[in-house]
Amino acid sequence: MSKAPEKVAFAMELNSKINTLIEWVIENNPNKEHSLHKEAFARVQEEFRKIACGLDAQTLEPEPSEGGAQYVSVTPAPWP
């Protein structure tokens, strides 16, 4: 059986919960001088969509033939 329907259901539920959380943050923002707007959370929503769809950062990088990096280091730098 395919996992696609489960992934779609998960992505839809995650999107719904993120939207609910964003609405709560906007309504309950204690700093009334700096009001928040839903547009300010567009990047957060996009990142969660990528996570929900199973896209990670490496799949979003362009291939070397498309102008992307020839080598991407995934090893963390040593502790100083």
- Dihedrals φ, ψ of 7, to 5°? -65, -40
**pTM score, two decimals?**
0.57
Neighbours of 21 (CB within 10 A): 13
Tell me if 69 sits within 8 A of 61, measured CB to CB. Answer: yes
Per-residue pLDDT at 25:
92
- Dihedrals φ, ψ of 16, to 5°? -65, -45
pLDDT digits (tens, 9 = 90+) for 21-63: 999 999 999 988 888 888 889 988 888 888 777 755 455 567 7
Q: Which residue has the higher pLDDT, 30 or 2?
A: 30
Helices 4-27, 42-52: inter-axial angle, 10-degree rounding: 160
Q: Which residue has the higher pLDDT, 67 or 21?
A: 21
Tokens, residue 36: 């928040």
